[in-house]
A and B are shown apart, each in its own frame.
Chain A
């Protein structure tokens, strides 16, 4: 039985041992051999390597084309939602203005990014802008913290700003995006993070090929009061009568929270749209590159094939003419 096992082992190892050790010496160890020997010592140049490459490149092209189609259909679905949600943040900006240059002690940068990759450079842009905001708002007694939505920003920010990260949220798009989910998220952030100003960094979807990095600022009620008293942009906020509630502060608190959840909702939708659009264009250029590569490989393949046929013919003819004398 041991002998039978050994014989079986021997048979398995046999194909690995080259029958012609001379070929092994001739070909270079780094580059796969293009030549093998047929009967009568005829040399055929092997097109196997090129053929394998062509097959894999063709598969990659099919996959990226399919990914582009999938991204296009997802984009269509989410684009209508995004455009409908654009009216949501405008009343807040009309009332409270937009003060990205407000000088505050506690900044929180909410970076929105995608979970999946292969979507071009939009996540890197968001992270760069977030880091820029961190630098912009650095100073004595000032601190900037990060709240990260999405795996891609987490991977990039964990590397050098680990101590500044307050909260990380991933798998946002597992269920279709809706306002309830985002308002629960906003509630979590507001509960766990102390803030004077929240800056939401996202990519605004302008068209299928253009995504503009944008930062929306939501100020806490105390800062709003401060800015209103000091005049300037928010100066006429005091002229607004505040109905209901015991104090103006209570209403302003609710207002700030509502503003945050509305701007978050719009920001998350816009970023999701931008992600699908960026993925579409990335996959499109990738399948185009694969197509170019395939063309080049096809030319090489044909050249190799024709060269080997020519070599064969020459050898046969010269052999025949040598025999004739």
Chain B
């Protein structure tokens, strides 16, 4: 009888120990999921509700009270995550309003990017990329998410092709008839002249 009681006592902590590792996998804000799962189970009781992206994401840390020393940058492209939660000192992004420097403690911002040079400053080294366009989200907890459609390191660009492309699109603009063609040619010119200035400047 004593043995059975001790077995029972031994079983409880094992369950608790098994339950505890999962608590870190819970999303930071499960409330939206909860309303969805409740509504789902009411209407469709036989099926498990589908998962939502929140359950697959690591939760972000909350805003700290003092300004942190480093900026955490996520630089993602459709084909790769160039930088994933990398701690840097500063990034300079080519926003539509001009080059924007982002330091830790920057105010929360949503900015659209135009074709230009993105530079990441870490200590003394600077890595430069040419981004085609995208968005940058700066969060209050010194996290910066840069999402670009295409980004290449500057040393992969060929000057001659850039000049050729610029000439081609300029001629397309002059021969364009519809608004759509004009807009496309203008976009081509913008990108190529930004490429040009990135390579020369």
A: residues with CB less than 8 A from B are 81, 84-95, 97-101, 128-129, 132, 135-136, 179, 183, 201, 204, 212-217, 233, 236, 239-245, 251, 254-255, 258, 262-263, 265
Bound-complex Cα distance A237 to B104 (A): 19
With A98-B52, A214-B52 as given contacts, are A243 and B78 in contact (CB-CB < 8 Å)?
A: no
Task: Verify if B167 is at the interface (C-beta below 8 Å from A).
Answer: no
Q: Does B149 contact A (CB under 8 A)?
A: yes
Contacts A94-B60, A242-B110, A251-B112 given: A179-B79 contact, CB under 8 Å? yes
Contacts of A93 in B (CB 8 A): 53-54, 57
Q: Is the interface of B mostly helix, strand, loop or mixed?
A: mixed
How long is the Cα–Cα vector from A97 to B60 in the complex, in angstroms? 11
Closest to B56 in A: A204
Residue pair A243, B81 in contact (C-beta under 8 Å): no
One digit per residue, 1 when the CB lies within 8 angstroms of any chain A CB and 0 when it does not, for chain B 112-153 equals 100000000000000000000011010110010101010000
Nearest Cβ distance between residue A110 and chain B, in whole angstroms?
Answer: 13
User: Which residues of B have CB within 8 Å of A86?
Assistant: 81
From B74, B78, B139, name the one whose CB has the most chain A CB atoms within 10 angstroms.
Answer: B78
Complex Cα–Cα for A100 and B35 (A): 9
B26 located at the interface, meaning its Cβ lies under 8 Å from any Cβ of chain A in the complex: no
A214 CB contacts on chain B under 8 angstroms = 50-53, 56
Asked whether, in the complex, the Cβ of B108 is within 8 Å of the Cβ of A240, the reply is yes
Tell me the minimal C-beta distance from B191 to chain A in angstroms: 15
A-B contact count (CB 8 A): 139
Q: How far is the CA of A127 from the CA of B110 in the complex (A)?
A: 36
Best-surrounded residue of A90, A216, A262 (most CB of chain B within 10 A): A90
Q: A91-B74, A201-B50, A244-B112 are in contact. List 9 more A-B contacts (CB 8 A).
A: A99-B32, A129-B47, A183-B149, A214-B50, A215-B51, A241-B107, A242-B110, A258-B147, A262-B147
B108 is contacted by which of A97, A179, A183, A241 (Cβ under 8 Å)?
A241
Contact A95 B50 (CB under 8 A): no
Please give, as numbers and ranges, the residues of chain B lying within 8 Å of A201 by CB-CB distance.
Answer: 50
Q: Which residues of B contact A241 (CB under 8 A)?
A: 107-110
* Cβ distance A241 to chain B, nearest Cβ, rounded Å: 5
Interface string of B65-92 (1 = CB under 8 A from A): 0000000001011111100100000000
Q: Are A233 and B76 in contact (CB under 8 A)?
A: no
Q: Are A89 and B53 in contact (CB under 8 A)?
A: yes
What's the minimum C-beta distance from B57 to chain A, rounded to whole angstroms?
A: 6
A94 CB contact (under 8 Å) in B36, B44, B145? B145
Chain B residues, Cβ within 8 Å of A239 = 108, 140
B198 at interface (Cβ–Cβ under 8 A)?
no
Closest CB-CB distance, A104 to chain B, in whole Å?
A: 13
Q: Is the CB of A98 within 8 A of B110?
A: no
Chain A nearest CB, measured from B184 CB (Å): 14
* Contacting residue for A97 out of B29, B51, B95, B139, CB 8 A: B29
